[in-house]
Structure formats: C-alpha cells, structure tokens
Amino acid sequence: MTGPISLPDAEVRETGDARGRGVFALRAFTPGEIVEESPVVLVNALFRDFPPEIKHIVFSWGKLCNSGSAYAIALGYGTMYNHDNPANMRYQADPVNMVMRFIAVRAIAAGEELTVNYNAVGGGPEWPDDNWFQRMNIKPIVSGDA
C-alpha cells in the first residue's frame, strides 16, 4: 500500500507557448524519484465515445494493467502534464492502490516543466514516432482553441 497522498512539489502555470498551462517542478527531482501519485477514477467506455476534451486526459488503464479495457482519469496534476518526446517522466499504473505514478526518468531541475510522452507504450519517456494526436484522430488543444 502506498503512503498518504499529498500534493506534489509542483505547480500549474502558463508554459509561455501554444500549449497553455503545464506543470512545473518547484524543486529538483532525481532519476527514479516519484514526482506524484495520482488517485484515478476508472471509466468503462469506448475511447471513440469520449468527448474530445476527455480524450486528451484519459489513460488506457486496461492496457497499462493488462486487464480489461477501462480508461483512467488521473486526479491531482495527473491530467495536466504536457507531452514531450522524450519526456522527463514516465508513468506507471498501480491497480492495487488505484493510483498513477509519475516517475522522473532523468534529473529534473526546479522550474522545469514536467512532461510525459503520450506516444510511448506502457508510459515510457520516449517513442520513435511523435504521432499520438494523429493516431488518436484528435486535434491537440492549444491555448486559444474554443
């Protein structure tokens, strides 16, 4: 069982680019360190049936846990991490404790944006293609989109 869930050492603020808001480290993180453990809410629905705004934030819980086809909405900052390839974090589903862990894959400096790779199978930090939005047939949400 994991320990108590507390707010991560991070904050949400504007990225200064078209992506709008992002999550930024308030302190340095070391490789392998857990940045956040986000509780998850499971949703049993087909991906195609989600509204576009939800398609941007769900994790394929069934694939990550090798069981079923549910999707997870990570609470906390879990749905606020922007995409990068390579990213500075990976994510890992924990079905026993119903949390999504976000783990540093390299040294992350205080003030740096925290990112995950939307493409990588199993939550890894990098992937040879950077085509997640195209593959999912959804338009990226950028600041100013209606």
Let me know if residue 80 belongs to a domain.
Answer: yes
Query: How much is the pTM?
Result: 0.82
Let me know if residue 128 belongs to a domain.
Answer: no
The confidence score (pLDDT) of residue 7 equals 66
The confidence score (pLDDT) of residue 1 equals 46
pLDDT at 121 over 90: no
Let me know if residue 79 belongs to a domain.
Answer: yes
Let me know if residue 138 belongs to a domain.
Answer: no
CA distances from 63 to 82, 89, 95 (A): 21, 19, 12
The confidence score (pLDDT) of residue 120 equals 76
Let me know if residue 40 belongs to a domain.
Answer: yes
Mean pLDDT in residue range 113-137: 73
The confidence score (pLDDT) of residue 57 equals 87
* Tokens 């200064």 found at: 16
Give the model confidence (pLDDT) of 6-53 as tens digits: 667 999 999 888 778 899 999 999 999 999 999 999 999 888 898 888
The confidence score (pLDDT) of residue 128 equals 63
Q: For the chain, what is the domain count?
A: 1
d(CA 82, CA 99): 19
The confidence score (pLDDT) of residue 122 equals 75
Residue 48's domain comprises 10-115
Let me know if residue 16 belongs to a domain.
Answer: yes
Let me know if residue 141 belongs to a domain.
Answer: no
User: Which residues lie across from 36 on neighbouring strands?
Assistant: 102
d(CA 75, CA 142): 21
What pLDDT band is residue 132 in, cutting at 50, 70 and 90? low
The confidence score (pLDDT) of residue 55 equals 82
CATH of the domain at 83: 2.170.270.10
Let me know if residue 130 belongs to a domain.
Answer: no
